[in-house]
Chains A and B, each alone.
Chain A
Amino acid sequence: DTAVSQTPKYLVTQMGNDKSIKCEQNLGHDTMYWYKQDSKKFLKIMFSYNNKELIINETVPNRFSPKSPDKAHLNLHINSLELGDSAVYFCASSQPKSSGNTIYFGEGSWLTVV
């Protein structure tokens, strides 16, 4: 009964391809996020959604497009993949701020662009 699950865990693809990473949370949270962890392990927020509405959109190329079909899902679609997109992408979700705002992370999706 994984709280935040994302698929695929590993993805190797060629430059120029389009790929998607799916995320689902069964915690009943309203807020979901995508974070990127680079080769030096630096974690940086990309997007956050609250109740299917985009709240945070950091400086991310518009080749990255999140889609939230419902509160429990936040998928990440990446167009025209580049070598520099190789990283680990973490989906996360959190309770409302009033309830502690703990952020729960998935196990990550390792994307390698060749």
Chain B
Amino acid sequence: QQQVKQSPQSLIVQKGGISIINCAYENTAFDYFPWYQQFPGKGPALLIAIRPDVSEKKEGRFTISFNKSAKQFSLHIMDSQPGDSATYFCAARTPTGGGADGLTFGKGTHLIIQP
């Protein structure tokens, strides 16, 4: 059972364009939604995150849009650059109450920005 569904699996965008990656979740108990960026040979690194009481969060060229009623959230990368080429993961925090909440990840989107 996949609790966080991510699409598309791969995406090619021209330099300067807008990259959009979508995620949908099922568990209404999720309380924190981060996006991670992973370059080849590296570990995932936090890019931007949002809590469900906020509909949008922007940090530089990166924006998360969150729709609580639809249980969907998306990452928008404005003015996409070749250096943004990476694998992007959406995630949702699974509250355990034990002080060690883990993340449930989407399956990832391989983004290529063409120069």
Residue ranges of A at the interface with B (Cβ–Cβ < 8 Å): 4, 30-31, 33, 40-45, 48-51, 55-56, 90, 92, 94, 96-97, 101-108
Contacts and interface: CB of A to CB of B under 8 A. Distances in A.
Contact of A107 (B41, B93, B104, B107): B41
Interface stretch (B44-52, B55-63, B67-75, B77-85): B44-52
Given A42-B107, A44-B105, A107-B41, A96 B89 contact: no
B9 to A, nearest CB: 9
Interface of B: 32, 34, 36, 38, 41-46, 49, 87, 89, 93, 96, 98-105, 107-108, 110
B105 A48 contact: no
Contacts of B99: 30-31, 50-51, 55, 96-97
Contact of A41 (B42, B87, B103): B87
Contacts of B101: 48, 97, 101
A49 B102 CA distance: 10
A111 B39 CA distance: 18
Given A55-B96, A103-B46, A45 B103 contact: yes
B32 A56 contact: no
Contacts of A94: 100
Top 4 closest pairs, chain A to chain B, by CB: A105-B43, A55-B100, A50-B100, A55-B98
Given A42-B105, A43-B89, A48 B42 contact: no
A45 B102 contact: yes
B103 to A, nearest CB: 6
Contacts of A30: 99
B104 to A, nearest CB: 8
A48 B107 contact: no
A90 B79 CA distance: 31
A113 to B, nearest CB: 20
Nearest to B49: A102
A39 B42 CA distance: 15
B102 A42 contact: no
A45 B42 CA distance: 17
Contact of B108 (A41, A49, A103): A41
